[in-house]
């Protein structure tokens, strides 16, 4: 009995000792997985209420905070432009951003920026306040193995029913991944904000924001309706990338796709993730991950000259030989074909003065002209005058053969160069009224500056002169003072200024 008690006490001591060691190690170890400090650098499988993280100054380009069970995707801080930060979901093996939060402003990559979860994911900064917030009241954040970031609300007890209050799949940026739905209420937008992809009643289209408030449709894919017909009023259309390697279009409520757009990997078993991205040049490209690279397996526009604006404003694109300028006196390699202010149309306030000059070029064709409307006119002059008279027209392209007259209601982009000289282009080039105004302002400012300088020079001259006079007076006074006799007005003048001079030198 006694030996047993001694044994027990010894054992307790040993246990206590071990516990002490464990606790000390855990408390002082920097890798203690649940400490608040380490939470920001440790990737977790879910984020609970109270979660807070700040970016690590040395991390680049991505700091993971949450990962999915397959270890393919992570959610965290993404560095943009060296010092800026946003939150994103990336594909871990390639660091390719698949989803990026769309904040009103970018946050700084600094330790004052914080991502927290209080039911809502909030990216904030104590000075500038909230940059981005999901505006939800959920219980936890998870990253699914599809790369979908979800905010979950657990409903009622242990029955484990739960619902996603918010998911990143509903707010796509420039990328659509496998099994993500693109509905008629969503759009993919290129990273530079110039191009978008949207669904219509029975098609999906690519649009360019050449002019504010009006999108130009430059590519359109209409549903083939082979396996299923679109039934009007039955439900909205959505698009989804299928793991079999195609972009399907569906009508909600019907299972067979109304359209199948096969990628080059169609029905070839590729195990890697498929994704579609709207590129900064306006092309829509599909890729699959082969384990070490993203392999291109689809592109909407294969001829570079058919892109919305491959050579920029007033550019001229010749298939097979690249870019030049519509104005043959401008060298494309100088950087830009058009050096004006392209904002706004020609409907200026001063209608009496012509605010443009005209550039003409033969052998010109519109890209994506099948999506443009036209009028038929009997001559080139008639076509040009349609455009000339309308201040919201930037240019016109006329085909002498067909009599088709296309007028352009957006700033001139890149046109196609064709051998057919009977296709003629008429383009307005802005004489910038702003430049004129700037000139007037500049001249006015020069005038004002000259005036100011003249006044200043005069003033300084006056002050110097006065000082000099005072000095002379003082010198005389001193000389005279030592000399005793002080005749004349110098003494009177000097006595006051001498005192002030003395005060100053003290």
Q: Which residue ranges make up the site for ligand NAG (CB under 6 A)?
A: 70, 118-120, 122, 130, 137, 145, 169, 181, 252, 328, 400, 422
Long-range residue pairs from 393-396, CB within 8 A, at least 24 positions apart, any chain:
393/346, 393/428, 394/345, 394/346, 394/427, 394/428, 395/425, 395/426, 395/427, 395/428, 396/425, 396/426
Closest CA relative to residue 27, chosen from 40, 38, 43: 38
CB nearer to ligand NAG: pick between 119 and 481? 119
CB of 78 to ligand NAG, least distance (A): 21
CB nearer to ligand NAG: pick between 137 and 500? 137
CB nearer to ligand NAG: pick between 217 and 382? 382
Query: CA–CA separation, 169 vs 156, rounded Å?
Result: 26
Q: Give 297's contacts (C-beta < 8 A, 6+ positions apart).
A: 245, 263, 264, 265, 274, 286, 287, 288
CB nearer to ligand NAG: pick between 72 and 474? 72
CB of 124 to ligand NAG, least distance (A): 6
CB nearer to ligand NAG: pick between 160 and 485? 160
CB of 258 to ligand NAG, least distance (A): 13
Tokens of 156: 């009622």
For residue 141, report the phi and psi dihedrals to the nearest 5 degrees: -115, 130
The DSSP result for 204-252, as a single string, is EEEEEEEETTEEEEEEEEE---SSSPPPTTT--EEEEEETTTEEEEEET
CB of 239 to ligand NAG, least distance (A): 10
CB nearer to ligand NAG: pick between 307 and 311? 311
CB nearer to ligand NAG: pick between 400 and 495? 400
CB of 137 to ligand NAG, least distance (A): 5
CB of 261 to ligand NAG, least distance (A): 17
Largest CA distance in the chain: 127
CB nearer to ligand NAG: pick between 168 and 283? 168
CB of 338 to ligand NAG, least distance (A): 16
Query: CA–CA separation, 184 vs 187, rounded Å?
Result: 8
Angstrom distances, CA of residue 315 to CA of 311, 413, 415: 5, 6, 6
Angstrom distances, CA of residue 112 to CA of 64, 96, 147, 201, 204: 18, 26, 28, 46, 42
Tokens of 312: 């920029």
CB of 179 to ligand NAG, least distance (A): 6
Query: CA–CA separation, 151 vs 134, rounded Å?
Result: 9
CB nearer to ligand NAG: pick between 121 and 300? 121
CB of 57 to ligand NAG, least distance (A): 24
The residue to which tokens 């449709």 are assigned: 217
| Residue 446 host element (H or E) | helix 433-483
């Amino acid at each position: 009995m006694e030996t047993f008690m001694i044994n027990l006490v010894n054992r307790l001591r040993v246990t206590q000792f071990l516990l002490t060691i464990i606790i000390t190690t855990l408390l002082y170890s920097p890798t203690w997985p649940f400490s608040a400090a380490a939470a920001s650098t440790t990737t977790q499988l879910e984020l609970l209420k109270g979660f807070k993280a700040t970016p690590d100054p040395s991390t680049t380009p991505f700091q993971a905070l949450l990962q999915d069970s397959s270890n393919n995707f992570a959610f965290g801080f993404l560095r943009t432009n060296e010092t800026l930060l946003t939150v994103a979901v990336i594909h871990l093996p390639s660091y390719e951003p698949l989803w990026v939060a769309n904040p009103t402003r970018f946050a700084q990559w600094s330790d004052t920026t914080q991502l927290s979860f209080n039911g809502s994911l909030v990216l904030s900064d104590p000075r500038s306040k909230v940059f981005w917030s999901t505006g939800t009241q959920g219980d936890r954040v998870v990253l699914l193995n599809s790369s979908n970031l979800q905010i979950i609300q657990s409903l009622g007890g242990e029955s484990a029913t739960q619902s996603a209050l918010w998911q990143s799949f509903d707010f796509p940026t420039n990328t659509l991944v496998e099994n993500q739905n693109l509905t008629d209420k969503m759009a993919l937008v290129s990273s530079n904000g110039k191009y978008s992809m949207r669904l219509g009643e029975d098609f999906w289209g690519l649009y360019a924001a050449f002019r504010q408030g009006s999108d130009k449709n430059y590519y359109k894919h209409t549903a083939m309706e082979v396996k299923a017909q679109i039934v009007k009023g039955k439900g909205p259309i959505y698009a989804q990338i299928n793991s079999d390697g195609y972009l399907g279009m569906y009508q909600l409520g019907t299972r067979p796709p109304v359209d199948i757009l096969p990628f080059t990997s169609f029905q070839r078993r590729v195990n890697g993730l498929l994704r579609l991205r709207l590129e900064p040049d306006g092309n829509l490209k599909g890729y699959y991950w082969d384990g070490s690279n993203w392999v291109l397996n689809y592109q909407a526009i294969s001829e570079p000259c058919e892109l919305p604006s491959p050579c920029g404003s007033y550019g001229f694109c010749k298939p097979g030989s690249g870019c030049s300028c519509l104005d043959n006196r401008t060298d494309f390699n100088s950087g830009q074909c058009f050096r004006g202010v392209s904002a706004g149309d020609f409907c200026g306030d001063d209608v009496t003065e012509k605010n443009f000059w005209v550039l003409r070029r033969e052998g010109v064709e519109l890209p994506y002209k099948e999506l443009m409307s036209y009028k038929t006119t009997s001559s080139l002059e008639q076509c040009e005058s349609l455009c000339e008279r309308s201040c919201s027209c930037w240019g016109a392209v006329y085909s002498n053969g067909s009599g088709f007259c296309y007028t352009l209601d957006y700033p001139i982009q890149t046109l196609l160069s064709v051998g057919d000289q009977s296709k003629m282009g008429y383009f307005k080039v802005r004489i910038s009224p702003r430049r004129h105004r700037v000139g007037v302002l500049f001249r006015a400012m020069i005038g004002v500056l000259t005036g100011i300088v003249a006044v200043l020079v005069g003033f300084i001259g006056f002050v110097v002169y006065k000082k000099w006079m005072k000095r002379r007076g003082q010198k005389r006074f001193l000389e005279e003072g030592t000399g005793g006799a002080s005749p004349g007005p110098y003494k009177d003048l000097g006595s006051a200024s001498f005192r002030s001079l003395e005060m100053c030198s003290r």
